[in-house]
């Protein structure tokens, strides 16, 4: 049905927008470097995270490699949720839960695939 293919296109676009925004935010690396340092991780990890966010978003927008990209994004969301697990901070806990919700959306997208409106890889 056409509405299902349109819905998949919109879903890919919305999820891609989130990760494109994440890539753009990382162009000012200081907050991410501080977050990484607080967990004892090297600050240079911001750069592969930026590249992954941008590449994954472009792949979703184009509709190529949707299943493996969506699975990788789900894993990424699960791992990065650790940075927001701060039970004493309701704002951070909301972000923690949102990361898992986004992971769920990515898993659903991985199952559904790109739909009709996609470039084929």
User: Residues 43-102: pLDDT tens digits?
Assistant: 999 999 999 999 999 999 999 999 999 999 999 999 999 999 999 999 999 999 999 999
- Specify the 3-state DSSP secondary structure of 113: coil
- Specify the 3-state DSSP secondary structure of 78: helix
Spatial separation of the C-alpha atoms in residues 74 and 80, rounded to whole Å: 10
Q: What is the pLDDT of residue 121?
A: 55
List, for residues 31-52, the tens digit of each pLDDT value: 999 989 999 999 999 999 999 9
Task: Residue 60: give the domain boundaries.
Answer: 2-112
118 belongs to a structural domain? no
Q: State pTM to two decimals.
A: 0.92
Q: What is the mean pLDDT of residues 4-24?
A: 96
121 belongs to a structural domain? no
Strands (E), the chain: none
Q: What's the domain count of the chain?
A: 1
119 belongs to a structural domain? no
Q: What is the pLDDT of residue 109?
A: 97
CA-nearest of 20, 43, 48 to 32 is 43
CA-nearest of 10, 11, 115, 120 to 65 is 120
């Amino acid at each position: 049905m056409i509405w299902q293919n349109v819905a998949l296109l919109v879903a890919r676009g919305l999820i891609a927008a989130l990760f494109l925004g994440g890539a753009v935010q990382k162009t000012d690396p200081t907050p991410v470097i501080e977050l990484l340092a607080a967990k004892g991780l090297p600050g240079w990890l911001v750069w592969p995270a930026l590249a992954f966010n941008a590449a994954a978003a472009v792949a979703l927008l184009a509709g190529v490699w949707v299943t493996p990209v969506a699975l990788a994004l789900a894993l990424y969301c699960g791992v990065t949720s650790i940075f927001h697990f701060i039970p004493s901070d309701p704002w951070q806990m909301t972000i923690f839960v949102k990361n898992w919700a986004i992971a769920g959306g990515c898993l659903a997208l991985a199952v559904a695939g790109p739909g009709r409106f996609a470039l084929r890889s």
